[in-house]
Amino acid sequence: MYRLLYSVLLRRLPAETVHRLSFRGLRAIEATPGAMRLVRRLCGPRDDALRVRALGLDFPSPVGLAAGFDKDAEAYNALGAFGFGFVEIGTVTARPQPGNPRPRLFRLVRDRAIVNRMGFNNEGARAAADRLRGRRRVIVGVNIGKTKVVPEDEAAADYVQSTERLAALADYLVVNVSSPNTPGLRDLQAVEHLRPLLTQVREAARRATPRHVPLLVKIAPDLADPDVDAVADLALELGLDGVIATNTTISREGLESRTREVEAVGAGGLSGPPLKERSLEVLRRLRERVGDRLVLVSVGGVETADDVAERLEAGATLVQAYTGLIYGGPFWLRGINRALAARLRP
């Protein structure tokens, strides 16, 4: 059904229009009496084999929605009802900002991939906080990033401001230093910048709430291996709770799509299957480095239950996906949860 709708209509519409239509649908489901219950009954993860205990939380499925889909915390409950074990909202910046000019979201259909240069379009930390105060029916992670106009030497203060507004409302907090679409952001992954940044965010989270808010850092797949190791060591040194690997890549290697099409799309972060191999490699490297001392959330190119199982076997505590949902449609995760439960059941 979704395949038909996709091939007849959705793939002809600009990708961002489809995104906006999806949110209308999700919000309509949240507003219609009985609809959420119905969706949850159809899609919600119920099998005990899927449960994961991590970060002090009980996840009903190890598969969550990666950051960037629900940037403004508009529909996390409906997304949870469709089967996600957790939803990461954001990236949220301290101040509202429009993001980059459109078009800024592109499909590379032959690769089942996406290129985006959204540039953290979002309504800011205050608006996200207001939405997170509503009734919650799913575990919600909050992913924060730097406001574009804030200079790099004031980045930490900007992250701290978001933390002050959002930490008490987050089931876990993610410091995103890995989006390729905010100039200079990824330089913050260098340990000399990352150490003071994470230390200040951690202190701000402690001041914001007496509850321990798990703190994770999200890294790029384009880091060289020694830099991945350095971030892992820093996460251990600072007593962080985990690492999310990976964000999108600026590489365009190994694509099936025509060079002309790829060049026409231009700059941005690439996601989906072309990212799979590097994402898995970074996961294995991190797990080897940190042993069982950190939660590792693996993301990048996950499309099937076999992909999820592979990540879990390679040391992921939790798994996230975004692009798979775009190509797979709203019932995609239901299928994954069912197939995964059958694999994991004793």
Ligand X SMILES: Cc1cc2nc3c(=O)[nH]c(=O)nc-3n(C[C@H](O)[C@H](O)[C@H](O)COP(=O)(O)O)c2cc1C
Residues near ligand X, by CB under 6 A: 66-68, 71, 90-91, 105, 114, 116, 118, 120, 143, 176, 179, 218, 247-248, 271-272, 275, 299-302, 321-324
Active-site entry in 22, 162, 178, 179 = 179
Give dist(CA 125, CA 166) in Å, integer: 7
Q: Shortest Cβ distance from residue 343 to ligand X (Å)?
A: 20
Query: Which structure tokens are listed for 161?
Result: 């401001």
Bridge pairing between strands 86-92 and 139-144: parallel
| Burial zone of 258 (CB within 10 Å; 0-12 exposed, 13-18 middle, 19+ buried) | exposed
- Smaller CB distance to ligand X: residue 35 or 339? 339
Question: Beta strands of 193-305 (E only): which ranges?
Answer: 215-219, 242-245, 269-271, 295-299
Dihedral angle computed from the Cα positions of residues 232, 295, 276 and 262, in that order, rounded to the nearest 10 degrees: -70
Q: Element (H or E) spanning 128, and its range?
A: helix 124-132
Question: How far does the chain reach from its first CA to its final CA, in angstroms?
Answer: 33
Give dist(CA 135, CA 220) in Å, integer: 33
Q: Shortest Cβ distance from residue 305 to ligand X (Å)?
A: 14
Q: Element (H or E) spanning 258, and its range?
A: none
* Helices vs. strands in the chain: H and E counts, helices first: 13, 13
One-letter identity of residue 284: R
Assess whether 22 carries a catalytic annotation.
Answer: no
- Smaller CB distance to ligand X: residue 36 or 324? 324
Q: Shortest Cβ distance from residue 155 to ligand X (Å)?
A: 15
One-letter identity of residue 282: V
- Smaller CB distance to ligand X: residue 317 or 323? 323
Closest residue (Cβ) to ligand X?
68
- Smaller CB distance to ligand X: residue 36 or 312? 312
Residues 6+ apart with CB under 8 A from 291: none
Q: Shortest Cβ distance from residue 169 to ligand X (Å)?
A: 18
- Smaller CB distance to ligand X: residue 35 or 281? 281
Q: Shortest Cβ distance from residue 179 to ligand X (Å)?
A: 6
Catalytic residues: 179
